[in-house]
Chains A and B, each alone.
Chain A
Amino acid sequence: MRTRITLLLLALLLIAVPASAQQLFDFLGQTVVPAAAGGMLNMDSLIRDPAPATTPLPLDFANFEYTLVVTNLELISGDGTTASPQNYANGTLTIYEDNSTAADYANPATFSDGEAILIGTITTLNRTMFTLTLGSAAGWVDWVGGTHLDDIAPVDQIGWPFLTGISARSTVIEPGYSEQWDGKVEPEEPIVDTEDMSWGSVKALMR
């Protein structure tokens, strides 16, 4: 029994992050927006190390590049104004880990190579433009696949907010794209947390 408790404590130490640390996937990328309902929205972006906050899963930014790619997010309705925000549904969001090819907007395929560590479904997303060049989009992601899906408890795989600011100024848009999206995907609460427990309480868990 003592060995089991020791192993449990070691495991907790290995996976613990400070309870106060915010967790998010912070991305900055380029998006192609469809012209009409039925068209598909696609985005290529890079994830950055958000220190002193953390990513929801441990990522090795020193040795890998992480990209976040949205594909086939279908425009259902709306014109994008505040009176009629665009409604999108059923897109795929994938986070790739790659140490071989640097992401380059001139070659979009460089964003979707490497290992797909998380794959999610964007269930819904609303896009609103407040001016001709400034807007926001908010949606929800359910994680459904990827090599690290099992690192997230099933109860924590559903309903992650996706939020981004939108800039359509010509100075920030890469050729072939229509908007710059700067946003994040994050769980509403840290998915790996720590709790203060007395030694007696830990032992009680094993009885």
Chain B
Amino acid sequence: MMRKSIPFMAMALVIAFAIPAFGQASAIDYFGYAWETGGFPPSDPGDVMIFTGVGDYADPIFGIDFGTEEATFYMYDLVSTGEVPLEGGSVMINYTGGYLEIYRDAAMNADWGIAPPNLTSPSTFMDGTLFFKGSFNSMTLYLNPGGDGVYEGTLDGIGGTMIDDVCTGCVYTWGGNFTPPSGAQIPDGYDIQIDGVFEIEEAVSTEDYSWGSVKALFN
């Protein structure tokens, strides 16, 4: 009995959690604007980064219809550990803590306004249905001497309808680039424009096995 049930459950789990093992990971493309307490740059130890943004493309697996709903992003409570100089005048900034929330909202009312936090930001980016909530495991930002740069972090999913519907137990990656006001149109009061991708990394990679090979694993 045990030999039959365990392989069956293992295969069911692989099917339930599988996402493409090759090519592009499932992703939502987004952009928006961020600010940091105390201003950015510089990023001083203890400064807190906040971001509000909107999705403008999502792979079909997410089931988001941008014609009738918006996907909004709210990232908060990321605490800077300060700047670490790199060669060439760039700096690296690690953040601790922090959460990312993604909402689906038929009101389609996202509005950055100016001088955040304000009456519409973050409030219009955190209304609707909570699609995903994740806690950051890591978040690192690289700042070029010109004021632009990139960032990348990973999250654990801790809530939202996506967790059950799309990928339970997955690792989520959050990355992209940012631009200072000298190179982008940024609403007053925000420090940087952000353009990035939210991705699901595979939790369980898939491999093709014959039924005999699967049974052999348990013999």
Contacts and interface: CB of A to CB of B under 8 A. Distances in A.
Contact of B90 (A20, A82, A134, A171): A82
A138 B144 contact: yes
A23 interface: yes
B126 to A, nearest CB: 16
Interface in A30-69: 46, 48-53
A49 B56 contact: yes
Contact of B185 (A22, A167, A182): A22
A52 B31 CA distance: 10
Given A82-B87, A138-B146, A172-B24, A164 B31 contact: no
B187 A51 contact: no
Interface residues of B, number: 45
A166 B88 CA distance: 19
A161 B184 contact: yes
Interface stretch (B10-18, B130-138, B159-167, B172-180): B172-180
25 contacts: A22-B187, A22-B193, A24-B185, A26-B56, A28-B29, A28-B197, A46-B57, A82-B87, A82-B90, A128-B90, A130-B90, A134-B142, A161-B179, A163-B148, A163-B177, A165-B195, A165-B196, A169-B173, A171-B24, A172-B199, A175-B23, A182-B176, A182-B195, A182-B197, A184-B31
* 7 nearest CB pairs, A to B: A165-B177, A83-B87, A48-B56, A82-B88, A130-B142, A161-B183, A136-B150
Interface of B: 22-25, 27, 29, 31, 54, 56-57, 66, 70, 86-88, 90, 92, 108, 110-111, 142, 144, 146, 148-150, 152, 173, 175-177, 179, 182-187, 193, 195-197, 199, 201-202
Interface of A: 20, 22-24, 26, 28, 46, 48-53, 81-85, 128, 130, 134-136, 138, 161, 163-167, 169, 171-175, 180, 182-184, 186-190
